[in-house]
Structure 1
Amino acid sequence: MIQDESAHELQEATLWDSTGHRLGLVGEVHRDKDTGRLAWLTVALGPADTRERFVPLTGARIEGTDVYVAYDHDTIKGSPDIDNAPEAGLSPEDEAKLHRYYGL
């Protein structure tokens, strides 16, 4: 179960989409502010697209140093732009925007 992992163990894991496409390395790990549970990972999708994309951990699984998420590359690539300082975490507005986008 993802919640059994620590945020540190997930950082720099390899992230894979729901079709088996390698997305890249996990950048940041974010917890839900209300529950403290691990909720989001970020990933930059490549050299031409360095913006960190937020990906929900809902439905994800870990196998060794790989994290498989429940969303495909195109869905993740089309996710909303979130201008986020890592130490600040997600604002309630940004988290709501991501929840709506991913249908959570």
Structure 2
Amino acid sequence: VALLALAVLAVIALAVVVLGPGPQQAHFGRRPFRTWDYSWKKVVSALVLFYGGGGWTMKATLVAMALLCLGGVAVSMRRARHRGAVVAWLACLPLIIAAM
């Protein structure tokens, strides 16, 4: 439990450093102003991005990636030894959304 709490605090601290105003904004190429107004669109945007080619190949790739992700989560949740991987993956999602 303590290790999980430490990991959550580390992710929150990293998000604060990336999002906070200061010299790191120039490094990350982001302006200091951030809002959560369009957070749902940011989450869904990865699914609707147009990758070159389009058509059935793009849809097949997206479906395959989604199935592999869900399969990995299912296997990790069944095995108690690997549940930390799911927690780490979920902890990274707010950073991905914040970077968009």
The TM-score with structure 2 as length reference comes to 0.24
The TM-score with structure 1 as length reference comes to 0.23
Which of the pair has more CA radius of gyration?
2
Per residue, is there more helix in 1 or in 2? 2
Per residue, is there more strand in 1 or in 2? 1
